[in-house]
Structure 1
Amino acid sequence: MSTGAVARRLGVSPTTLRSWERRYAIGPARREPGRHRRWTPGDIARLELMCRLTADGVPPAEAARAALGGAPGARRAKAPSTAPGGPDALPLGAVRPECRGLSRAAVRLDAPTVAELLEAALAEDGLVTAWEEVIAPTLHAVGRKWATAGERYVEVEHLLSWQISAALHRIRPLPEPPRSPPVLLACVPGEQHSLPIEALTAALGQRGVPARMFGAALPAGALHDAVRRTGPRTVVLWAQSRTTADPALARSVAGIEWGLRGARARPALLLAGPGWGADAPAPRTERLYGLRSGLAVIESLAPPRAATGPAGGAPFAYGS
């Protein structure tokens, strides 16, 4: 594997690997003149041991000696770790190596490496695949650990969420088609978890679909005003939990009308997030399950390019 691929797998930066090689001689066992360095499975195993030891608080020099075969650190490496940075901190299950690297960096609170790994995943896999196979599994693992460990892992979740949000906001949307009504996306009142619809907003932008994202905990009155002012083709409401999901609010939003008398339009309402029940609380309402399938629903409801928005008289429907 290349240095960059190994760095992504382990959740460290390439600069860190080069520093370890320079200071502690923990580098590729074999090199071929005139070619880039390549790490063998044995090389990577030594690096994984060093990462586990340093996460447990072992000084880097001692961790390197243990990884290269020294006795003192090796004994410590076999002991199970209970520290937040230990090897069992985030039980991820069967996931991609990039996911494990991202989780290790998050547990170490290594913000620069988290940012670097997120950028690499988004660039190499695209937003939808990176979200489904790298970002979301890591978020879920952090959430499970936080739920079972009191307040010990809140800082990990906050740092990871902030870095993910920042990476999503750096994705530049395509120019919007003229006179095209937007998709309106918001969290229901009291809902603070907005990352999934931030990802949806970024994915819509990549496709040139106009979107208006209002973030976490939008008050009901402000939501109603935004719908009337924008005349959206679809409204997407996110609810993470049953305590924040509000069927009455969904019904009221689905019933909002705009436009001239005789040519009134209403939005299609899409309910996203695990907080909503399986049954739609209002007509013209649909449940969304996942980023990829949600985008497909939205694109299937998109109007022809020649159509106009509420100001031009043609109704729209849209969803996430």
Structure 2
Amino acid sequence: MVETSLGITTGALAQRLGVSPTTVRSWEQRYGIGPAIRADGKHRRWSPSDVAMLEEMCRLTASGIPPAEAARAARSDRREPAGIGKELAAPVLSDSDPSPGRKPAGGGGLPLGDVRQECRGLARAAVRLDAPAMETLLEQVISDFGLVTAWEEVMVPTLHAVGRKWESSDDRYVEVEHLLSWQVSTALRRAAIASAGRQSAPVLLACVPSEPHTLPLEALAAGLSERGIATLMFGGAVPAEALDAAVRRCGPAAVVLWSQARSTASYALARHVAGMTFGLRGARTAPLVLLAGPGWAGRTPDSGMLRPRGLREALDSITRIYGEPPPEPERRSVADEPEPLGMDRSPTSSRTASRP
């Protein structure tokens, strides 16, 4: 990147920040967060202090701070060159007083509704295709709130919002949905690796045949690892023969079968797995089968099966198999309990659900 004594261009700055030049210009127009000096009286040139100011705004918005508030904070931190007064700044418009034809950014234009601040930050980073910001924010919410709360109150609402936006905008935002799904998947896998499960009979996680949607299972795998329970993730669309072989070879304490739609839910397969036994003759055991996902709705599970209605319930049910009480509920930073978002309300995204 070429920098002159007068600074860098808007295009170079946008590339450095990972946003579009249009976004940078709109921030300048709307929030008064433009360059302190213009070359030849009109051409934008961004000095090192200007760049630091924009980098700080990106960091703040990615953490969920509303853009207008982030801009005010970023401007207050800028050290303006001597002789440059505030009269050079563009008029500042707050989110409560948008310019004509504009609406408050909220979650980057996604239909989020009443969600927590971190969810809005993730949505804004997703719309900007800002992978580093998404990675940082997801890692932070898992660390701060625990896997279950991060999944139910940040990841799932954002994935749902992207799915709704995709369905209502003639296949636009597909790139946002794909990148967000990948970043969520990466964060969940890192969480699972960071919390290695103990050496014991594992939990086998698999999607039923013809079911490719894996993200909810990845969340469950991470949650089990967080509780010290070993897992074997077989992923999407596992053939019945392969599932049978896997169960016989590893002798799992539990088998979780994910089905997103009723068309893929196979009770015959579930009954077969629940009836499998292994171990020494005279002391054989069978796995507990958990029917996870909305595909299993509308039917009472047979003996040896459970149908958890959410991530937390699935984690608690499996934890009890190992003779340990479930952990205390995670502390929430919001006063009101949100509507449950769990495995039966799985996200609509490329790695979790096909478009209807």
TM-score in terms of structure 1 length: 0.70
Query: Alpha carbons of 1:212 and 1:148: their partners in 2 closer, same or farther (altered >3 Å)?
Result: same
Tell me which residue corresponds to 1:242.
262
Amino acid at match of 1:237: L
Superposed displacement of residue 205, structure 1: 0.9
Uncovered stretches (5+) of structure 1, i.e. residues with no partner: 1-11, 28-39, 51-63, 305-319
Tell me which residue corresponds to 1:23.
50
Tell me which residue corresponds to 2:8.
none
Superposed displacement of residue 280, structure 1: 3.4
Tell me which residue corresponds to 1:157.
177
Aligned pairs (5 A) from 1:128-277 = 128-171=148-191, 172-178=193-199, 180-277=200-297
Report the count of equivalent residues: 257
Tell me which residue corresponds to 2:100.
78
Distance 1:205 1:75 in 2: 46
Residue identity over aligned pairs, in percent, reads 52
Query: Alpha carbons of 1:278 and 1:173: their partners in 2 closer, same or farther (altered >3 Å)?
Result: farther
Tell me which residue corresponds to 1:291.
311
Distance 1:247 1:265 in 2: 21
Distance 1:175 1:102 in 2: 27
Aligned Cα RMSD in Å?
3.5
Query: Alpha carbons of 1:111 and 1:261: their partners in 2 closer, same or farther (altered >3 Å)?
Result: same
Residues 106 and 120, structure 2, Cα contact 8 Å, conserved in 1: no
Query: Alpha carbons of 1:239 and 1:47: their partners in 2 closer, same or farther (altered >3 Å)?
Result: farther
Residues 173 and 202, structure 1, Cα contact 8 Å, conserved in 2: no
Q: Within the alignment, does 1:44 sit opposite 2:66 as a pair?
A: no
Residues 231 and 267, structure 1, Cα contact 8 Å, conserved in 2: yes
* 3-state DSSP of counterpart to 1:232: coil
Uncovered stretches (5+) of structure 2, i.e. residues with no partner: 1-18, 28-32, 36-48, 55-64, 76-87, 325-342, 344-356
1:258-290, Cα deviation, whole Å (9 max, x unpaired): 223333221110011111123235321111122
Residues 182 and 209, structure 1, Cα contact 8 Å, conserved in 2: yes
- Counterpart selection for 2:92 from 68, 77, 85: 68
Amino acid at match of 1:23: D
Superposed displacement of residue 303, structure 1: 3.9
Residues 250 and 281, structure 1, Cα contact 8 Å, conserved in 2: no
* 3-state DSSP of counterpart to 1:78: coil
Residues 240 and 273, structure 1, Cα contact 8 Å, conserved in 2: yes
Residues 108 and 123, structure 2, Cα contact 8 Å, conserved in 1: no
Superposed displacement of residue 134, structure 1: 0.8
Q: Within the alignment, does 1:118 sit opposite 2:138 as a pair?
A: yes
